[in-house]
A and B are shown apart, each in its own frame.
Chain A
């Protein structure tokens, strides 16, 4: 690892020494998530979400593998095979609800993780590669989640597949050919269901691979922190284990409480009733909506209503993909040398607007299309693009950041280190001594 004061692995038991000589796997783990990885001492709870995202992926892979032992990817029996899991397979209902709600938990965690990265400037040099790999993971997650939602072969599954593959028909000239190729037919059917199942099983392992790269890239500069000031010396860091393993254990507990509450008390809260109706190619549900985690993008898609050089449908599709793809350019759109928005008052204001904007887009994505909601989603989509492509470059060139602390340790001693987004948003400055053990205990 890059910090010279990082602890070195010294196997204590003979077995571990033997293993370490032949295959230094214990060393790798020690350096990645053990005592050998020095981490800034001032991370707040938002830094729990990376580990939680890993946990969510693990939950999805484990429950997914066992569900695949019972699921049948054939249009004639897929819906019934899921219901058989719910009724006849021992604990099947638990596994299926865990998988369905696990997807939502994964997105909750990853959206928080992304928001933290944006707020604290974790995408900036020297961590651009961490960010780029993160956006790749996000795209893979979206593809996986979409294909997974098709598998139960309910009404929303079917019409979701129909609508999403319909995006590709917006491409001029070859669009319809591509759509038919994607589906293996003129409408979603067995061919589509089988390839979606195959890819839905494959992609999570690809995600796991990219996560390894994501963590690898992270370990070269080391973790960012709430001040955005880089680590200067040993006094700025603590070893990942036991400090952050303990904190992540607590975070995992909270995550699991929320997760278990969803599974056991409101398993269908985030789903849609129409998906308990078997797929019917001859009847479209009155109100097609994607899963909640796609709603902001769906709102952007629907916001484009006027043909302007390109057809409105193509604008919508371009904008929807563009709204994600522009995240790839974020490290270069934001030219401010200051990372943490805690020290960028103007930018922070716009970030809060962006957060509200995305929440509004999420609401509008699920709302019925009336002139008012269309108008609002046009304004909200406009701000989304304006934020990244206009506001961000201009603000980062013009604003005057607050003075940065000289080091993490200095910030900690002044009580600024662990300030969270909410606290700073509320106070603008921080109560002295807020994070000292004396005050907290």
Chain B
């Protein structure tokens, strides 16, 4: 029975099924080729003018990257004074800042002084209220919900930044490039794609996927923030620092991960060497 069924399958059904698939694909090929012959290849402004991120050259980049706490603190300052007006950091807690080298007292001050307070409940009336932030709190949301965010930002929701550098290809470089990548629209673009003129209320940036984004250039000029460590706050420097900070918020364990990794791989190399030696010794004299 089995042999009959298998013989039948092998001799007939496979050819029927195969012919079906192949014929369907063949028709597809004809239609694709036909389409290629008929339709002009479509080119878009995004396709021609979108740029891959430039390298920010951060210390955290690469296989053995580490964090520069000094830079992370500067980046946090940029976030606090510039970005945090619109962008939340909802997955990060104030207490996490200890990793940047702030001590307990400083963290407490940062939390207490944070402009936006934590939602809470009035203990007497039970009505919604706010209270000062505690180190154990996560960074509060800037807008209570997307509707509020949209209403306040010309119908565009500013995304949360906690994971931004992991949520984009080459995230840290992307953040750096985007912040420094605003420009006027090239004349060539307008000549080739007149309909791609940046709409009112948007801003042209070749590092943004659609070339036009709602965010106005946030870093407007040098010395927009006053760094305490004496680093000159050029736009380029601020963009790098905040990219470094957002690398940390997205992957706070990066440095520990790299350290563990070196230890693990060295350990495994020794183990594998020993295992190889044991294998060769056990097989000695056994031709195989």
Partner-B contacts on A (CB < 8 A): 41-43, 80, 83, 86-87, 93-94, 97, 238, 242-243, 246-247, 249-250, 252-254, 256-257, 260-261, 263-268, 273-274, 276-277, 286, 303-306, 308, 312, 315, 319, 322, 326, 329, 331-333, 335, 371-372, 374-375, 378-379, 381-382, 385-386, 388-390, 393, 412-413, 417-418, 435-437, 441
A369 to B250, CA, bound (A): 31
Identify the closest chain B residue to A328 (Cβ): B9
Give the number of chain B interface residues (Cβ < 8 Å): 64
A residues less than 8 Å from B179 (CB atoms):
none
Q: Which residues of B contact A256 (CB under 8 A)?
A: 268, 271-272
Known: A249-B275, A257-B268, A273-B169. A378 touches B29 (CB 8 A): yes
Min CB distance, A84 to chain B, in Å? 8
On B, residues with C-beta under 8 Å from A are 6-7, 9-11, 14-15, 17-18, 21-33, 35-36, 41, 63, 91-92, 96, 159, 162-163, 166-169, 171, 209, 250, 252-253, 257-258, 260-262, 264-265, 268-269, 271-272, 275-276, 278-280, 282-288
A144 CB, nearest partner CB in chain B, Å: 25
Which of A286, A322, A332, A374 contacts B32, CB < 8 Å?
A374
In angstroms, Cα B133 to Cα A23, docked, is 62
Cβ of B32 and Cβ of A305 under 8 Å apart? yes
Chain A, Cβ-Cβ closest to B260: A264
A268 CB contacts on chain B under 8 angstroms:
166
Inter-chain contacts of A267 with B (CB < 8 A) = 257
Chain B nearest CB from A244 CB (Å) reads 9
Q: For residue B29, which residues in chain A have a CB less than 8 angstroms away from its CB?
A: 375, 378-379, 382
Among A243, A257, A305, the residue within 8 A (CB) of B31 is A305
Which B residues touch A41, using CB under 8 A?
Answer: 286-288
Are the C-beta atoms of B287 and A274 separated by less than 8 Å?
A: no
B287, A260: Cβ atoms closer than 8 Å:
no
Contact yes or no, B25 A303, CB < 8 A? yes
Most buried by A among B171, B209, B275: B275
CB contact between A393 and one of B10, B169, B264, B269 (< 8 Å): that residue = B10
Q: Is the CB of B167 within 8 A of A246?
A: no
Residues A250 and B14 in contact, CB atoms below 8 Å apart: no
Residue of A nearest to B65 (CB): A265
- Determine the chain B residues whose CB is within 8 A of the CB of A80 once the complex forms: 91
Chain B, Cβ-Cβ closest to A242: B282
Q: Are B250 and A276 in contact (CB under 8 A)?
A: yes
Q: Is the CB of B264 within 8 A of A260?
A: yes
Shortest distance from the beta carbon of B177 to any chain A beta carbon, whole Å: 15
In the assembled complex, the CB of B260 is this many whole angstroms from the nearest CB of chain A, namely: 6
Partner of A375, one of B32, B269, B283: B32
- Indicate if the CB atoms of A385 and B18 lie closer than 8 Å: yes
Interchain CA distance A261-B91 in the complex, whole Å:
27
Residue among B6, B25, B32, B96 with max Cβ neighbours from chain A (10 Å): B25
- Bound Cα distance A375, B41 (Å): 14
Nearest CB of B to A341, in Å: 19
Q: Which residues of B contact A265 (CB under 8 A)?
A: 63, 258, 261
Cβ contact within 8 Å between A436 and B25: no
Find out whether the CB atom of B288 lies under 8 angstroms from the CB atom of A412.
yes
> In the assembled complex, which residues on chain A have CB atoms less than 8 Å from the CB atom of B35?
371
B171 to chain A, nearest CB (A): 7
Contacting residues, chain A, for B14 (C-beta < 8 A) = 326, 329, 333, 388-390, 393
**Residue in B closest to A252 when the chains form the complex, CB atoms:** B275
Q: A273-B171, A389-B17 are contacts. A378–B28 as well, Cβ < 8 Å?
A: yes
The A contact surface, by secondary structure, is helix
Residues of B within 8 A of A371 (CB): 32, 35-36, 41
Contact A437 B284 (CB under 8 A): yes
Indicate if the CB atoms of A243 and B286 lie closer than 8 Å: yes
Contacts A41-B286, A250-B276: A87 and B91 contacting too (C-beta < 8 A)? Answer: yes
Contact B15 A378 (CB under 8 A): no
A286 CA to B167 CA in the complex, in Å?
13
Find out whether the CB atom of A264 lies under 8 angstroms from the CB atom of B283: no
Is the CB–CB distance between B272 and A254 below 8 Å?
Answer: yes
Could you list some 22 contacts between A and B, CB below 8 A?
Answer: A41-B288, A42-B288, A43-B288, A238-B288, A246-B275, A246-B283, A260-B264, A260-B265, A264-B258, A266-B63, A273-B166, A276-B163, A277-B167, A304-B24, A315-B21, A315-B24, A322-B21, A332-B6, A385-B17, A388-B14, A412-B287, A435-B288
A437 pairs with B265, CB closer than 8 A: no
Residues of A within 8 A of B265 (CB): 257, 260-261, 264
Residues in B neighbouring A276, C-beta threshold 8 A: 163, 166-167, 250
Quick check: A306 and B31 within 8 Å, CB to CB?
Answer: yes
Q: How far is the CB of B227 from chain A (nearest CB, A)?
A: 27
The residues of B that contact A335 with a CB separation of less than 8 Å are: 10
B259 CB to closest chain A CB (Å) equals 9
Known pairs A276-B163, A389-B21, A437-B283. 19 more at Cβ < 8 A? Answer: A87-B252, A93-B257, A250-B272, A264-B257, A264-B258, A265-B63, A266-B63, A306-B24, A306-B30, A319-B24, A332-B9, A382-B26, A385-B21, A388-B14, A390-B22, A412-B287, A417-B288, A436-B287, A437-B286
Contacts known (A246-B279, A264-B257, A264-B260); A385 close to B287, Cβ less than 8 A? no
B residues in contact with A243, CB < 8 Å:
282-283, 286
Q: How far is the CA of A43 from the CA of B283 in the complex (A)?
A: 12
Which residues of chain B are near A372, meaning CB under 8 Å? 36
Q: How far is the CA of A260 from the CA of B169 in the complex (A)?
A: 22
A324 → chain B closest CB, angstroms: 13
Q: Which 3 pairs of residues, A with B, have the shortest CB-CB distance?
A: A264-B261, A389-B18, A253-B272
Q: A residues within 8 A CB of B10?
A: 329, 332-333, 335, 393
* Docked pose: A332 CA to B9 CA in angstroms: 8
CA distance A252 to B279 in the complex (A): 12
Smallest distance from the beta carbon of A52 to chain B beta carbons, Å?
13
- Are A308 and B23 in touch, CB under 8 angstroms? yes
Q: What is the minimal beta-carbon distance from B274 to any residue of chain A, in angstroms?
A: 8
What CA separation (Å) do A308 and B17 show in the bound complex?
Answer: 14
